[in-house]
Amino acid sequence: MSTYRAFEATGVRNVQLVERELVDPAPGQVRLRVEACGVCHTDVLAVEGLRADPSLPIVPGHEIVGVIDAVGAGVTAWHLGDRVGVGFLNGHCGECEPCRRGNFVNCFNQAQTGTSTDGGYAEVAYARASGLVRIPQGLSAIDAAPLLCAGLTTFVALQRGGNQGRLTRRSTGHRRPGASCAAVRTQPRVPRGRCGTRYREGALRTTVGRTRVHRQQHHRSR
């Protein structure tokens, strides 16, 4: 296909379904077909216009799972068909002072997925090769997507805190810390969750009757 569909945010609370031209990834980047994208509170930065220039269109979403279908010049570690994830940090440059010290999180030249560069509320997404993580084939896109932000944040907190306290097993069957997660799937026919909430079925369908959101609430046991 020569175009793809995406939800584009401009101004304040102005989100529209648009057609975008499919282009080759830039050098050092990859292009992926989105399987699912998580819904995070930080997406409010794009939707509410809390950016440097809200008039510029942006595709929200920074918990992306997809399959690489094109690689840019200079990319050698990733290949067509690789299943990958992209989080809020879209990939470090590897050249600035923090990067030279191994402090990649504080890279001076790192875009923020869904805020300063287009995110995953789309059929196609782009990211630096340095911002990718590998997603196992046995892990569903719906379960993997929230781990790229909410899951990572709470895992690091537990890791640094010595994993004190017990965790409850919720509707997904996984042990996860106390955080609210959500996932948007671009594949059709997602079933209802057992917790009584719903999935958003087909991220690119706009009619209310077909748009479903599944929120996975994870609470610490008392």
What is the predicted pLDDT for the residue at 195?
Answer: 35
Q: Express each pLDDT in 83-142 by its tens digit.
A: 999 999 999 999 999 999 999 999 999 999 999 999 999 999 999 999 999 999 999 999
Question: How far, in Å, CA of 114 to CA of 172, rounded?
Answer: 26
**Which pLDDT band holds residue 174 (cuts at 50, 70, 90)?**
very low
Q: Are 122 and 5 in contact (CB under 8 A)?
A: yes
What is the predicted pLDDT for the residue at 155?
Answer: 86
DSSP bridge partners of 7: 17
Question: How far, in Å, CA of 42 to CA of 47, rounded?
Answer: 9
Residue with tokens 């799972």: 65
Range list of H helices, 1-109: 44-47, 97-100
What is the predicted pLDDT for the residue at 64?
Answer: 98
What is the predicted pLDDT for the residue at 1?
Answer: 63
The fold adopted by the segment(s) 3-164+206-211 is: Quinone Oxidoreductase; Chain A, domain 1 (3.90.180)
Question: How far, in Å, CA of 96 to CA of 168, rounded?
Answer: 42
Q: Express each pLDDT in 125-153 by its tens digit.
A: 999 999 999 999 999 999 999 999 989 88
